[in-house]
Amino acid sequence: METLKRLGVFDSGLGGLTVLNEICKYNTGLDVVYFGDTARVPYGSRTVETINRYAEQDVRFLLSEGVEAILIACGTVSTNCLPALKRTFSLPIVGVIDAGCEAALAATKTNRIGVIGTRATVNSRAYERRIRELRPEVRTWGVECPLFVPLIENGFAPDDPITVMTVERYLSAFRDTGVDTIIMGCTHYPFLTETLERFMPEVTFINVGKALSRRLTASFRMPEEKTPNRVSYFVSDEDTGFLEIARRYLDAVRADNVQKVNIEQF
Q: Which of the residues 24, 74, 101, 145 is marked catalytic?
A: 74
Choice between 44 and 114, CB closer to ligand DGL: 44
Exposed e or buried b per residue across 19-31, where buried means at least 16 C-beta atoms within 10 angstroms of its C-beta: bbbbbbbebebbb
- Asked whether position 206 contacts ligand DGL by CB under 6 A, the answer is no
- Asked whether position 54 contacts ligand DGL by CB under 6 A, the answer is no
Q: Whole-number minimum distance, CB 119 to ligand DGL, in Å?
A: 8
- Asked whether position 74 contacts ligand DGL by CB under 6 A, the answer is yes
Q: Is residue 24 flagged as an active site residue? A: no
CB 38 within 8 A of CB 235: yes
Question: What is the distance between the alpha carbons of residues 166 and 177, in angstroms, rounded to a whole number?
Answer: 19
Binding map of ligand DGL across residues 104-143, x = CB under 6 A, - = no contact: --------------x--x----------------------
Q: Whole-number minimum distance, CB 187 to ligand DGL, in Å?
A: 4
Dihedral sign computed on CA atoms, order 176, 177, 179, 182: negative
- Asked whether position 209 contacts ligand DGL by CB under 6 A, the answer is no
Determine the residue type at 79.
T
Q: Which stretch binds ligand DGL (CB under 6 A): 98-106, 160-168, 185-193, 258-266?
A: 185-193
Q: Does an H or E element contain 38, and which?
A: none
- Asked whether position 80 contacts ligand DGL by CB under 6 A, the answer is no
CB 18 within 8 A of CB 191: yes
Q: Whole-number minimum distance, CB 74 to ligand DGL, in Å?
A: 4
For the chain, state the CA radius of gyration.
17
- Asked whether position 236 contacts ligand DGL by CB under 6 A, the answer is no
Angle between helices 97-107 and 126-134 (to 10 degrees): 50
Question: What is the distance between the alpha carbons of residues 86 and 50, in angstroms, rounded to a whole number?
Answer: 17
User: By CB under 6 A, how many residues form the interface with ligand DGL?
Assistant: 16
Q: Whole-number minimum distance, CB 230 to ligand DGL, in Å?
A: 23
Closest CA to 104 of 205, 199, 198: 205
Q: Is residue 186 flagged as an active site residue? A: yes
Q: Active-site residues: which are they?
A: 74, 186
Residue ranges in contact with ligand DGL by CB under 6 A: 11-12, 15, 41-44, 74-76, 118, 121, 149, 186-188
